[in-house]
Structure 1
């Protein structure tokens, strides 16, 4: 294989994965809507929801199918170009089984409901399975210091990371196009970093995810014709959390710090929600005080809030890329800026005040 073919093949395969997952998802979304209506997976308006009409809620099934079909098809095709190694089979197998489990949980929750504490236990179990099967954080790179080996803490930290991201995406899925759009932007930043550093499998996973998100967003922008439901939120959270762990030869800096910072907004919303529930002693009781709810109460329209939160996600994504370079004169000002921005933003929203 010549050098030109080596340089162009990964980008070509990423493009194929994106387009294939896009078209498959686009075709399957109407079918997912019919299934949701048949099994009764309908989001009905209530005191906590923003939607004023009943909307089917199982878009995650279409995204999952589009993602898996494109990933498997391109993986088989890439064998011809010697870009797919034996280790990839194991890693993708773990990823797919984890996806099946967490999407299955989401489908059940969308259809008949699952108690919050039971969902948390299953999330922990799926995270434990993923980590024990080898997709885990073995070490953490601390800028300007040596890499810290996690040892016995590797598995619990990985489990907590997966559970954190899955629930963060679920928590921020409160407005039309919000969660899908934020994951879309996060995927863009991670793909850019992966391609820049030559991580083939990382780029392939997130390219497939990107295509399925685009296909779904056609139906999910305000006014939404279909919600992703817990099946979608769990799927997106799991892939974003574990996708960065399936790359070959990458540093933990690539695996963790880029998605951690790029997901800064949903993680921030999740952590403040948990803190608020602890303060109010309502641990498993959902509220209407998330960041998007607070912005709506400031008088912003539905679409304006979504676009504003997209802009904030872009800020976090750019910060992730800057910090990933590891240059002192870039990292410290960026972290200082983010810290000040977060404090001012949360203070403006009175985020810990229950309304």
Structure 2
């Protein structure tokens, strides 16, 4: 029991110290400036978790550039509301909502099937939805929530839509997969024999593991597409400390303090969306990589380990029955 409590406390302290460091760097760097982006007329974009926060701002900006955007989200009322608000700002907006619950693999498969029936191309897939510090539990398919929602659900969605991406990209303009990760990946550890965190659970450690898994997946997917000669690039993005609802599961006293600090010092959702949009639309990200504060950044050596990337890829395929 003592060792479990120590592990949980250590994971908590490390993540909060990292958060403080990221916030200081963020304040010193200032806001990310969104470069002038080209029109996206005729392009089709899917954004998971696009009903609020960073995802909503990404959708709103994509639509303003002329893209046809499909929002994937689990809350239908929020989705209908997001579409209505965007159409009030732009009557000609091409935006729609489709039910997508990343905690249910059946829901992910159904979403992909319905999209394919629309017979549309897919130029950009933005895996933005996520959870943080949720209480211990299981998804509909028995996976630890952070691993199941942040990583595995998006892995399956990307896999099912990969042919669409391959067919939509071309030599002059790659199709894109953008995985919204976090600096927390640098604290993550991948236990291939215990991805569900059964042996010793910490919500903080589980969150970090899911974000590391995203970065490993993003790098390996990009490599696979290069090896196959497919016009698809994959990158991971860190939007920074952003004032969104992601922090709702903090311990209540910390949540109250965080809400005050966030209003004063965190980035706004629109500012957080800037790096995501740049990664999705800038030619610079054709080479993949990890992007934060508007620039490509180095990641810890573990994220570049080809054996670990491949092992996680193969285990994920097995877990999903692919």
TM-score by length of 1: 0.28
More helix as a share of residues: 1
Structure (1/2) with the larger strand percentage: 2
TM-score, length-scaled by structure 2? 0.30
Which protein has greater RCO, CA pairs closer than 8 Å, 6+ apart?
1
**Is the radius of gyration larger for structure 1 or structure 2?**
1
